[in-house]
Every structure is written in structure tokens, then in C-alpha cells.
Amino acid sequence: MFKGEKTIWDIAIEESKKTKRASYQNPEDDQEGIKTKDESTIFVIGSKDAGKTSIILRFLDKDEIPKPTTALEYTFGRRARGHNIAKDVGHIWELGGGTFLSKLIDVPIKVETIDSISIILVLDLSKPHELWNTMETMLQVARERIERVISEAAAKDSAIQQRLRRRAWKQFGENHPDKDMIEPFPVPLVIIGSKYDIFQDFDSEKRKVIGRTLRFIAHSHGASLLFCSMKTESLVIKTRQLISHLVFGTAAGKTISLDANKPIIVPAGNDSLQQIGPPPVSEGDIGKLTARSPLELWKQAYTSFFPQQAGSTSVAEDPAKDPQYTEPAVDNIRAQKDEELERYRRQSERKVREMARGGVWEDVKV
């Protein structure tokens, strides 16, 4: 062997290093915008009973009956990378309970995931009187958490904020004519309008108001927008394609549909304020609005058309009685304590009745 000649082991080590560098290539360096990292995270939030679990199950191609999500649930998906043995992993978190458990948003959004997380906001199109409140609450909580995490991550990675901002603008389009009016969400955001099968039977004027409002919300946040129904296979396929793009970096769909009489599909950066038009208020009423920003103007217009109602503020069922969370040792003790509490309650009620009959009320504690 000549001096300086590489051995087979030297070549193997060099090839291994090349493969590793390619696997962890910065997404910013990919001209097609396709991720090359082997792990990513999506966080599915939104309206209660909007079909979030069903969307996840269909994406994972699981033939299961969806169960109500009590709090925060985790699953994952894997996908082979080319002909290699290695697989890409997508971590999938789902927040149940609508806005009620929004504080749990801190769990998936953290320093370790901020560079690879995407948010999917699912809004129930069949409940327009709750839609704005849900959207506003969830996006506000998510943005505040993301900004805190970015500040925390900046202590070790000073370029994190600039990198995320550059990625957001790259997705939206740095030369977009509405650039001065837009503030992209810090991480990739997708808004899914669920239950389109119910929504399509709404009065045409209601559909237009809801559709244009959601287009403005998505556009102003640099997000993609898609209307979906689990009962329409073509829409399920497009939803899966969009989620796959977020999770595995596959090619994004190119379909664009702005017709209010059809399911709306708008990839980020493919809409404009001119196409969306002004807020749905009459010329005589628009002068009466006191908004300080375009988003506030749209809020006043939408809520005047659909007065907002408070969504459910509690979990519908007691998680302790949910069979999917059974813990025999804990459940037996809980049942025993429940019996003790019930006996104490009956004894206290009996004591109060006896004292009431005797006319004695001093220093009574129940």
C-alpha cells in the first residue's frame, strides 16, 4: 500500500460522515423546501369534537374508531427514507378539550422541538358561533409559548429567531405584494376547516362570510388553509398530503381552490388581500367600527355576523371513569375513598336535619 493511500475503512468513515451531514442538512439549504431532518413534530389543536383524532388516524392509515381525546395524547408515524433502512419519524401530539386545556400546549412546544415543529389548527366549520373564539385563543396561546421558547433557545443558539423567520418568509414568499401587511406565524401553520359535509349545506351568504374570513386569517398568519370532510375521500387525500409534507417533507400539493361554492384549498402564500376583498360589512357600517388593525376589523365584522358563544369549558366525561385509562390499584383506592366520602356526606346531612329539628344551629360545621 502506497503512503497516503486510503484504506477501505477510511473510505467507509468518509461515506458515513457524508450521509450523516446530508441527513441533518439545514432545510434552508434545500431549494425545493423539502425537509431532510429525520425527525419532526406536529401539534394538532383546535375546536372540541372537530375531528382532530379522525384526521390523525386517517393520516396514519389506521382503521380505528376514534375515541374522545381527554387531554394531551401522543402518537407517531414512520416512513422509510428512499431505499435505506433508516426511517423518518414524525411525532404527533393532539390537544383535546378545545380551549379548556390550552395550557398543556407547553408540553410539545419546547426548545428541543422548536426547529422542527408545525402547528395544525382544526376549526369546526359547523359551529361558526364558536369558531373565532377558538381560533383566537389557540393561536394566541401557541404564539406566546413559541416566543417564550425562542427566547429560551436563543441563549444557546443566537440565530434561532432569524432562522425561523427566514424559513417562514421563504414558505410564504418574500416578494409577495402583501408582505408589508403580513406577519407570518413563527413556525409552519396549517388551518383545517373540518366537517365540510355539514358546512356545504349552509346558506350561501354564510359560507362566503366564513370562507373569506378564514382565508384572511390564514393569509395574515402566513398559513395554509384547507377545508376537509372525513366523508369525502378526495379531501381526505389532500389533507393527508398536506400533513405528510409537514411531517416527512414530501412534496406539497399544488391544488388551489378559492371558489366559495367548493372546498377552499389555499397553500401558504397563494392568496392575496385583493382576492379576499374587504371585511363582510356594509359601507354604511364600516365607518362605525373602531378597529386598530386589519385583524381586529375582520373580528368585528365576523362577530357581528356570527355572535360568539363560549365553547365548552369542561371535559364532557370524567377521565377517571374512562376505560382506556384504567389503573386497577389506583381505581380501587379511588372507589374506597368515594364510598367514604359518600358516607360522610350522608352522616353530615343527617346531623344537620337532626339539629334543625332541635333548633340548635350554633357552631355547626359540615
Task: Using the predicted structure, report yes or no on whether residue 267 has a pLDDT greater than 90.
Answer: yes
Question: Which residue do the cell numbers 439545514 mark?
Answer: 26
Q: What is the mean pLDDT of residues 199-217?
A: 96
Can you give the residue ranges of every domain in the chain? 32-305
CA-to-CA distance for 162 and 143, rounded, in angstroms?
A: 16
Low-confidence winner among 57-61, 89-93, 173-177, 283-287 (lowest mean pLDDT): 283-287
32-305 has which fold?
A: Rossmann fold (3.40.50)
pLDDT of 223: 96
pLDDT of 339: 79
pLDDT of 320: 59
User: What are the angstrom distances between the C-alpha of 232 and each of 44, 54, 194?
Assistant: 21, 13, 11
Low-confidence winner among 58-72, 178-192, 304-318 (lowest mean pLDDT): 304-318
Q: Pull the grid cell for residue 325.
A: 385509562
CA-to-CA distance for 206 and 202, rounded, in angstroms?
A: 6
More confident residue, 129 or 63: 129
Question: Cα 120 to the chain's mean position, in Å?
Answer: 3
Low-confidence winner among 95-109, 122-136, 141-155, 240-254 (lowest mean pLDDT): 95-109
The answer to whether 296 and 48 are in contact (CB under 8 A) is no
Q: Pull the grid cell for residue 108.
A: 410539545
Residues 6+ apart with CB under 8 A from 181: 220, 273, 294
Q: Strand pairing of 224-227 and 189-194?
A: parallel
Kindly report, residue by residue over 322-354, the tens digit of the pLDDT.
Answer: 555 567 777 777 778 777 777 777 777 676 666
pLDDT of 82: 65
Task: Using the predicted structure, report yes or no on whether residue 316 has a pLDDT greater than 50.
Answer: no
Q: What is the mean pLDDT of residues 168-190?
A: 91
Task: Using the predicted structure, report yes or no on whether residue 7 has a pLDDT greater than 50.
Answer: yes
CA-to-CA distance for 188 and 182, rounded, in angstroms?
A: 14
The answer to whether 186 and 165 are in contact (CB under 8 A) is yes
More confident residue, 209 or 281: 209
Percentage with pLDDT > 90 across the chain: 53
pLDDT of 206: 95
Task: State which amino acid sits at residue 146.
Answer: I
Q: Is 253 helix (H, G, I), strand (E, B) or coil?
A: coil
More confident residue, 363 or 88: 88
pLDDT of 338: 75
Percentage with pLDDT > 70 across the chain: 75
Task: State which amino acid sits at residue 325.
Answer: Y
Q: What is the mean pLDDT of residues 61-81?
A: 85
CA-to-CA distance for 136 and 57, rounded, in angstroms?
A: 26
pLDDT of 191: 98
Helices 52-59 & 233-248, crossing angle to 10 degrees? 70
Band (220; pLDDT cuts 50, 70, 90) = very high
Kindly report, residue by residue over 17-31, the tens digit of the pLDDT.
Answer: 555 444 444 444 444
The answer to whether 291 and 297 are in contact (CB under 8 A) is yes
Q: Is 91 helix (H, G, I), strand (E, B) or coil?
A: strand
Q: Pull the grid cell for residue 318.
A: 370524567
